A and B are shown apart, each in its own frame.
Chain A
Amino acid sequence: MSHLDEGTLTALFDGELGAPEREQAEQHLAGCGECRRLYTEIRGFADEAGQLVDSLQPAERKASPAPRPARPGWERYRPLAWAATLILAAGLGWSASTLRFNQGEASDAVDGLAEQRAPATPTSALPEESRDESPSPEARERAGARQDGAPRRQVTQPPAPIAADMAKAAAPAPARNEAEPAANAVGRVESSPPPNPPAALVGTEPLQARGAEVSALREAPQGAYRYRETSLEQAVRVLGGSVKLIDGLNPIRVQAGPSQPVPGGPALEVIRITYLDPPGRELWLDQQRHPAAAEVDAAPVADLLAGDTTVTSAGDGQSRVRWISADGFRLTLTGYLPGDSLRSLVRRVH
């Protein structure tokens, strides 16, 4: 019998061999001095390495408590919803009594209600979050969640690492280049570009245009890009009736991103859906859709035409796939995966 290899001897030491293999190995060791010497050496290294590793112990600190499940969606604001309901009921009762007892002044009462709804402060003086700059019906539709008594923004407090990612996502807004009107969903991903152009580039993406975009991103002020958490239902509404998902993966986060203009159309929010793949790596699928997508897609959108797929790999292991679907979604899938792996996932986006 030939000598036992190090892997087998190590497995023997670790008790990982099945009964027949162990018996065979032990028989061999009994009659082979060279393998016994090697086994002794392996055992010595294993013992010493074990002691060295065991010597590294974290200092004892009071452990932070287990994370608690976040209350989903509007349930977080259930107490506020009760309060809002009571206030609304009281307000409606008062209005109704005014109308009932002052029929002649009904129109004035309605005007009065309108005045009550009108902002007492000029919108420009309000915090940015409080402004309603889209009074159109479509905008009110997009803001539907705010009309049911829920707060305007449902910003949860993520764990620190997630917060760091979100802060990164909040970084530079693109000072948009007219020559490259719609980076759309890609804009946020490139808010933290590698210092040099991507190491590998497959497809038709012009580097010059990307360079301009990257430099614009670097110069843009902080804080202009901010993603907020939202629900799949709201995402469907924003995207005009449907949303793209990755088959076989469960979303862990749904966010709505900054409004970005699509040529010939209104500003549209980007929907970002974050997933974990089986090994626990984060992937994020950004998507944006124009209501009249077919018309818009007749013209080139930035450097991407319908049917094109570009795969970009940065030197740090992050890859990104961009494409436009047949039904007019502009999509970007990004993650720390090889470009080929990401591209294969594109086939599962429906």
Chain B
Amino acid sequence: MTGHSIEELFAQYHAPLLRMLYRRTGDQDRAEDLAAEVFSRALQAPPDNPRPWLFAVALNLVRDDGRRAVRQGRRLQLLKGESPVSAGGADEDYERNEKTRFVKAALSELREIDREVLLLKAEGFDYDEIAATTGLAKGAIGTTLCRARKRLVEAYRAQEKDKHVAS
């Protein structure tokens, strides 16, 4: 590992990685498991350029995990599967938050690449880093981000509108 111990990587990147994974999966337990797996892999194959590497591995794991879940007939409980009565105090309050559910639902409507670019940008990645992490050309990042932001906002507004119609 060029200049980074695993402890340093963990201290520096665990929180943003977990946050991105939580936003991406909508499931805190899954996000924590995936984050642990990312650092386990960093231990096995130390990255030269840790930030794009860690996030790229995390996004790959999310995709692979999703495929595996589908193969096993296990449906991801991103949105609809969330129990109205959740397990723990803080989580319960959090998951009951209507805005949170709407945002998760809106995010789930985005294209995979749009969602990834949006979430990486939210973690402070610049266009070069987003390109390195996702494999997109740098010149395509602006257009992708523009589309992702617009669709997220529109999908969120649609959720709110549906709620008002239903109530």
Q: Which A residues lie at the B interface, using CB under 8 A?
A: 5-11, 14, 16, 42, 45-46, 48-50, 52-61, 63-69, 158-162, 192, 194, 250, 252-253, 276, 279-281, 316-318, 336
Interface contact B6-A66, CB-CB below 8 Å: yes
In the complex, the answer to whether A52 meets B67 with C-beta atoms within 8 Å is: no
Chain B 55-74 interface 0/1 with A at a Cβ cutoff of 8 Å (1 = within) = 01100110011011011000
Q: How far is the CB of A149 from chain B (nearest CB, A)?
A: 27
Q: Mark B8-43, 1 if CB is under 8 A from A, else 0.
A: 011100110011001100001001111011011101
Q: Which secondary structure dominates chain B's binding surface?
A: helix
Q: Does B135 contact A (CB under 8 A)?
A: yes
> Whole-angstrom distance between the alpha carbons of A66 and B54 in the complex?
14
Q: Are A49 and B135 CB-contacts (below 8 A) given A7-B140, A8-B142, A11-B127? A: no
Residue of A nearest to B7 (CB): A66
Residue of B nearest to A192 (CB): B71
B150 in complex: contacting residue of A45, A53, A54, A194, CB < 8 Å:
A45
Contact A10 B146 (CB under 8 A): yes
If A252-B45, A280-B56 touch, does A53 touch B139 (CB 8 Å cutoff)? Answer: no
Kindly provide the distance from the CB of A338 to the nearest chain B CB, expressed in whole angstroms.
14
Contact between chains at A67 and B103 (CB < 8 Å): no
Chain B residues with Cβ under 8 A from A192's Cβ? 71
The docked-state distance in angstroms from the alpha carbon of A46 to that of B148 is 9
User: Separation in Å of the B22 CB from the closest CB of chain A?
Assistant: 4
Closest Cβ of chain B: how far from A44's Cβ, in Å?
8
Let me know if A69 and B43 touch, CB within 8 A: yes
Closest to B115 in A: A53
| Contact between chains at A279 and B142 (CB < 8 Å) | no
Tell whether, in the assembled complex, residue A316 and residue B67 are in contact, meaning their CB atoms are under 8 Å apart. Answer: yes
22 residue pairs bridging A and B, Cβ less than 8 Å apart: A10-B145, A42-B149, A45-B149, A52-B103, A52-B106, A52-B152, A53-B103, A53-B122, A56-B19, A58-B19, A58-B31, A66-B10, A67-B40, A158-B40, A160-B33, A160-B36, A252-B41, A279-B60, A279-B135, A280-B56, A280-B61, A316-B71
Tell me the complex Cα distance, A56–B61, Å: 20
Which residues of chain B are near A253, meaning CB under 8 Å? 44
Partner of A6, one of B14, B37, B65, B146: B146
